Structure 1
Amino acid sequence: MESEAFVRGDEGVVFQLDPAVLDVLPNVAEIVNVSHHGESAWAKALRVDTLKTNGNKESYFIKISVGTHGREALKGEYEGTSAIFAITPGFCPAPIAWGSLKTQEDSHFYLCKFYDFTDGVPEPVSFCEKLARLHSSGSSPEGKFGFHCTTHNGDLLQDSTWHNSWEQFFANGLRNVFQVRKDRAGPHDELDSVPDLFDKVIPRLLPPLETSGRTIIPSLVHADLWCGNASIVNEETEEGIGFDPAAFWAHNEYELGNWRPARNQFTRLYFNEYHSHVPKAEPAEDYDDRNALYSLRFDLHAAALFSTQEEYVQMAIDEIQRLIEKFHDGITKGTE
C-alpha cells in the first residue's frame, strides 16, 4: 500500500500512520480507522482497523514507546510473544513486527493482532491447560535459564542472563529487582538489609529442586501473568489469552508466584486446575514456601513500579521476615 496514510479517526482526530508501520501491515488494502487505545507512563497504544486485500476486515494493535528503554522493551515484548506463540498460538496475541518509526525521532513500535477483551479473568479450565502446555513444551537453548534478549516487566528491565542453575538465575534476578526498586524509590532500611534471604532462604528452598537426582527442565514462562495481562476473548466460553509478557526460561512454578497475591484475582481454583496438568515439583512439602519466595519478586516489581505506595514494600518485608524466621540457619525452624 502507499508509503504513508492519513486517517480521520475518533472525534475527527487525524492520524498519520508511520511508513514503518505501513510496511509491515500484512496484505492491507485500506486503513479504515485509527483510534487511541489507552496509554501508560511508558507507552501509548492505537487500534488500526483495516480492509484486507481479500476483502476481509482485520484490526491491529500498535504500542508505541520512546528512547532506548522503549526500544528494548518493545523488542522484548515482540520476542517474548513470538516465543510463546510458537509453542501455544492460542495463548497470546499473534505478533507481527516491531521496529523504529521513520517520522518520529527515537520512537519505536510493536504490532500484533487486535483482540476485543471482556472484563474478568479467563475461565480456568482452558486457560490453565494452555499455560500447562506452554510450560511443558519446547526446549530452552542448551537447557539454560534466561532469555536471548532483555525483557521487561512493565518498564522494569529484567536480568535475563543465561545460567545453568535455576538458583543462580533466580537469585540474580531478585537482586536486580531489589536494586531497581532502590534506584527508583530510594533506600529503605528494612528492605535493603536482607542478607539472610540470599544466604539462607534461597539456598534452602531452591537447591533441593536440582539435587538428590532431581532436575528442572526450563519452561518458557510469561513471567507477568496477572489479571491485568490476561483477559477473556470469547464472551460465550470465557476463554482467554495472556499478553504483555516478560518472558524467559524458568522453573515453571515461578509463573504461579504472581497468582499468590489476592490483588491478581487468580484464586486457588486456578492453582488446582494448573496442577491437574503439571504436578508440584519435589520436594512437594516446600511448594508453598517456594510459591511465597517467587511471589516476593512480584511484590518487589509492584514496589518499584508504584514507588509511592508503601503497602507493596510492606508486603515484601512481611514475607521476607516470615521466610527468614522459618528457615533461619538454612533449615526449617522446629526441626533442629
Structure 2
Amino acid sequence: MRVVSQEVGKNMVHGEFESMKAIHTLLPKFAPEPIAWGTYETIPDTHFFLYEYRNMVDEMPDPHKFSARLAALHQNSQSPTGKFGFHMTTYSGNLPQMNEWEQSWETFFAKNLRLALKLELEAKGHDPEFDVLVPILFDKVIPRLLRPLESEGRIVKPSLVHGDLWYANSGIDVDTEDSLIFDACCFYAHNEYEFGQWRPVCNRFGAEYLEAYHSYVQISPPEEDYDGRLDLYKLMLGDMRDLVKRYGS
C-alpha cells in the first residue's frame, strides 16, 4: 500500500490507480492488480493506493521476456478516443502531465513538454539559458524530429505507455517468474516515448533491452531520426543543448 498526503498526493494515487488498472486490464500478468484508492476515514488529509501483493525479487528481468510483454502492451492497447492522451491527469513523481486528448503526437508532446518546463522554472527559478534554448526547441527541433512521423502517409499509433519505466519500477514475480511493472503514470503516446527513460546509464535497461524490443516492434520511420527522438524524449539540459546544435538550424 502506498500512503501520501495533501491534495496533490490524492491526485497522484488516483492517477496511479487508473494507470495500473489500464495495464492490468490489458496484460494481467504484467502488473499487480490495483484494488482500491481513497482517503483515510479518520485522517482526512491522508490518501492510499492498495495493490495486490506480489512477491518480487530485486533482479533485472530477462530482456526478451520483458520486451515481449512491453511490446504486447504497446501493440495491443487501443486509445479509447483514437488520440494521444489519457482520460485524467497522471503524475510523474509529483509532477502532473498534460494529458488532454490530441490528434497529433507532435502537438501532444509539445504541450506536455511546455508544462514540464514551466514547472521546472517555477521550482528552480529563471535560467537565462532557457531563453535561448526553449524557443529553438519548440520552433525547430520538435517539428524536425516529430513531424516526419506523421508526414508522407506515415501515422503514429497511440500506444499505452507506462510513462516512467526505469528499472526500479520493474521486478520479477518469485512464484511465476513473470516480469512485472508498477508505479505507472500512463497515457497513450508514441511507443518510443517509453525509451527516453532508458537512455541514461543509471537506468539498467540497456541496449540489450532495446534490441530485444525491436525484435518485436520495428523502429518507427524515418529510422535515421531514431536516436534524436529518444534524446528528445529523455530531454535533460545537456540534451537540449545537443539537440539545438544538431537540429536547430
Same structural fold, with TM-score higher than 0.5 when normalized by the shorter chain: yes
Corresponding position of 1:42:
none
1:111 aligns with 2:50: yes
What amino acid is the match of 1:279?
Q
Corresponding position of 1:177:
116
Greater relative CO, 1 or 2 (CA 8 Å, sep 6+): 2
1:319 aligns with 2:239: yes
Task: Give the length in aligned residue pairs.
Answer: 248
1:328 aligns with 2:222: no
CA distance in 1 between counterparts of 2:124 and 2:57 reads 34
Q: Note the C-alpha offset of 1:121.
A: 2.1
Corresponding position of 1:69:
8
Q: Note the C-alpha offset of 1:236.
A: 8.8
Q: Note the C-alpha offset of 1:142.
A: 2.0
Give the structure with the higher percent helix.
2
Q: Note the C-alpha offset of 1:67.
A: 1.6
Corresponding position of 2:82:
143
1:249 aligns with 2:169: no
CA distance in 1 between counterparts of 2:54 and 2:118 reads 36
Corresponding position of 2:144:
204
Determine helix, strand or coil for the equivalent of 2:127: coil
Q: Note the C-alpha offset of 1:233.
A: 2.1
Q: Note the C-alpha offset of 1:98.
A: 0.9
State percent identity of aligned pairs: 44
More divergent stretch after superposition (74-83 vs 89-98): 89-98
CA distance in 1 between counterparts of 2:169 and 2:248 reads 36
Q: TM-score, normalised by structure 1?
A: 0.71
1:265 aligns with 2:185: no
1:78 to 11, 17, 25: 17
Show the 5 A alignment for 1:215-254: 215-234=155-174, 237=177, 239-254=178-193
1:278 aligns with 2:217: yes
1:20-52 deviations in whole A, cap 9, x for unaligned?
Answer: xxxxxxxxxxxxxxxxxxxxxxxxxxxxxxxxx
CA RMSD of aligned residues (A): 1.4
1:188 to 100, 120, 127: 127
Determine helix, strand or coil for the equivalent of 1:141: coil
Determine helix, strand or coil for the equivalent of 1:206: helix
What amino acid is the match of 1:321?
R
CA contact (8 A) 2:199 2:231 kept: yes
CA contact (8 A) 2:137 2:248 kept: no
- Extract unaligned runs of 5+ from structure 1: 1-61, 297-315, 330-336
CA distance in 2 between counterparts of 1:124 and 1:139 reads 25
Corresponding position of 2:228:
289
CA contact (8 A) 1:118 1:235 kept: no
Give the structure with the higher percent strand.
1
CA distance in 2 between counterparts of 1:141 and 1:206 reads 23
CA distance in 1 between counterparts of 2:175 and 2:81 reads 41
Show the 5 A alignment for 1:143-162: 143-162=82-101
Q: Note the C-alpha offset of 1:259.
A: 0.6
CA contact (8 A) 1:190 1:317 kept: no
What amino acid is the match of 1:71?
K
What amino acid is the match of 1:113?
E
Q: Note the C-alpha offset of 1:84.
A: 0.7
CA distance in 1 between counterparts of 2:105 and 2:157 reads 10
Determine helix, strand or coil for the equivalent of 2:42: coil
Runs of 4+ more than 4 Å apart: none
- Higher alpha-carbon Rg: 1
Q: Note the C-alpha offset of 1:192.
A: 4.8
More divergent stretch after superposition (86-95 vs 250-259): 86-95
CA distance in 1 between counterparts of 2:70 and 2:130 reads 33
CA distance in 1 between counterparts of 2:52 and 2:147 reads 41
CA contact (8 A) 1:234 1:240 kept: no
Q: TM-score, normalised by structure 2?
A: 0.95
